[in-house]
């Protein structure tokens, strides 16, 4: 089943290009809210830049949560020569930075820059095999130092760039697939639900500040008081050097079992997946999941929570790679899951 009301490829292409590092998600939140409008009964952006859409007026309150923020950087200082030193805003690996193009989001407008580091020819012999550290790199925007200080403020955000690339067939690569591709899953689900029979209040939550501690998920869940929650995030896709139990095929959705995951809901998801012929694999986390699921599960008095993950390669880089078909299958699975849950609500045993 497909809906022509939503195009995952187009959404991801446009959403991935928008700046939205933790705490500064307004541009991407506004775009996501606009995409929710034709699919939802009500849409709003809250004080923490969560974009929230609602479908339905009665029945169980079901949150679908995918984070919209991206890893990025901030201006830490400006050197005498105008070079811009950096601080992390999210989990940026310094190894990927040298040679990247970036945008400094200044008050006067976006400023293109490049990430520079000392040329290998100038390194001391003992430094050639050392890992790059954040203090080793800087952003060069090309202006004289005095002009840099006029244009750039300490604390301005710096976003990575990387235009999406369509590889073979349904494989797509680019920046910010983590986790805007999973926002696409929510929108695909909403488009399908408009053609299906269900009785539930479904809240699409494009959450802010996941990369620095799930702050948007915490405030969103507290305000919405859900009966259940499904968190959508990415996991590691198989590639050269990945181990057997740490990465998964790009064409297979993964559902994680962990202490914060509700077992009856987990089992129900696999039942629905089998009935509708959706490939669904398993992952086991003995502690936290490092996703918004950890936070949603303990909101207020506790929320029965699920975690559904989309495998991608090269996480936290500008070439994160995944399958668009897996995005669509995730939306289809969730739509059927929500329909089943809403019809069986009174009979569900939570423990």
Question: Per residue, what are the HEC states of 87-140?
Answer: EEECCCCHHHCCCCEEEEEECCEEEEEEEEECCHHHCCHHHCCCCCCHHHEEEE
Contact between 61 and 226 under an 8 Å Cβ cutoff? The reply is yes
- What is the spatial distance between Cα 175 and Cα 318, in angstroms, rounded to a whole number? 4
| 67 sits in which H/E element | strand 61-67
Band (pLDDT 50/70/90 cuts) for residue 287 is very high
Cα torsion 263, 265, 270, 272 to 10°: value is 160
Q: Give pLDDT tens digits for 263-284.
A: 999 999 999 999 999 999 999 9
| Domain 72-160 fold | Elongation Factor Tu (Ef-tu); domain 3 (2.40.30)
Question: Per residue, what are the HEC states of 128-189?
Answer: CCCCCCHHHEEEECCCCHHHHHHHCCCCCEEEECCCCEECCCCEEEECCHHHHHHHHHHHHH
Give me the half-sphere count of Cα atoms (radius 13 Å) on the Cβ side of residue 43: 16
Question: Is the bond preceding residue 179 a cis peptide, omega within 30 degrees?
Answer: yes
Q: How far is CA 225 from the centre of its chain?
A: 22
- What is the spatial distance between Cα 224 and Cα 222, in angstroms, rounded to a whole number? 6
Instruction: In the chain, list all ranges with CATH 2.40.30.40.
Output: 72-160
Average pLDDT, the chain: 93
Q: Which of helix, strand or coil describes residue 187?
A: helix
Structure tokens at 306: 């699920």
Which residue among 25, 70, 188, 210 is the active-site one? 210
- What is the spatial distance between Cα 130 and Cα 274, in angstroms, rounded to a whole number? 49
- What is the spatial distance between Cα 212 and Cα 185, in angstroms, rounded to a whole number? 22
Q: Give pLDDT tens digits for 8-43.
A: 999 999 999 999 999 999 999 999 999 999 999 999
Contact between 60 and 227 under an 8 Å Cβ cutoff? The reply is yes
Is residue 123 pLDDT above 80, yes or no? no
CA angle 43, 49, 52 (to 5 degrees): 25
Contact between 51 and 33 under an 8 Å Cβ cutoff? The reply is yes
Q: Percent of the chain at pLDDT above 70?
A: 97
| Domain 8-70+175-347 fold | Aminopeptidase (3.40.630)
Q: Answer yes or no: pTM beyond 0.75.
A: yes
What's the DSSP call for residue 290? Answer: S
Residue-level pLDDT at 350: 58
Residue-level pLDDT at 349: 65
Active site residue 210: yes
Instruction: In the chain, list all ranges with CATH 3.40.630.10.
Output: 8-70+175-347
Is residue 344 pLDDT above 90, yes or no? no
- What is the spatial distance between Cα 95 and Cα 127, in angstroms, rounded to a whole number? 14
């Amino acid at each position: 089943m497909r809906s022509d009301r939503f195009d995952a490829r187009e959404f991801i292409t446009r959403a991935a290009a928008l700046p939205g590092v933790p705490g500064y998600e307004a541009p991407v939140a506004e775009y996501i809210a606009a995409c929710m409008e034709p699919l939802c009964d009500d849409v709003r952006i809250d004080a923490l830049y969560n974009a929230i859409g609602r479908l339905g007026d009665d029945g169980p309150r079901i949150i679908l949560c995918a984070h919209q923020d991206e890893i990025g950087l901030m201006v830490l200082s400006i050197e005498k020569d105008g070079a811009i030193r950096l601080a992390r805003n999210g989990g940026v690996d310094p190894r990927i930075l040298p040679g990247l193009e970036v945008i400094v989001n200044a008050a006067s407008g976006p400023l293109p820059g490049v990430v520079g580091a000392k040329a290998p020819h100038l390194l001391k012999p003992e430094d050639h095999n050392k890992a790059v550290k954040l203090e080793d790199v800087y952003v060069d925007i090309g202006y004289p130092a005095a002009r840099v200080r006029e244009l750039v403020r300490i604390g301005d955000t710096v976003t990575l760039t990387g235009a999406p690339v369509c590889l073979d067939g349904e494989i797509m690569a680019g920046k910010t697939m983590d986790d805007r591709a999973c926002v696409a899953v929510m929108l695909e689900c909403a488009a399908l639900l408009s053609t299906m029979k269900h009785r539930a209040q479904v809240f699409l939550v494009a959450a802010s500040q996941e990369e620095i501690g799930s702050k948007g998920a915490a405030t969103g869940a507290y305000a919405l008081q859900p009966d259940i929650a499904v968190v959508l995030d990415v996991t590691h896709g198989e590639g050269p050097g990945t181990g057997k139990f740490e990465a998964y095929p790009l064409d297979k959705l993964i559902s994680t079992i962990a202490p914060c995951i509700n077992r009856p809901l987990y089992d129900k998801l696999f039942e629905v997946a089998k009935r509708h012929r959706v490939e669904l694999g398993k992952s086991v986390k003995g502690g936290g999941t490092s996703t918004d699921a950890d936070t949603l599960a303990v909101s207020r008095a506790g929320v029965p929570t699920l975690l559904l993950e989309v495998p991608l390669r090269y996480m936290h880089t500008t070439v994160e790679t995944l399958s668009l078909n897996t995005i669509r299958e995730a939306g289809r699975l969730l739509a059927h899951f929500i329909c089943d849950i809403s019809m069986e609500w009174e009979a569900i045993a939570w423990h």
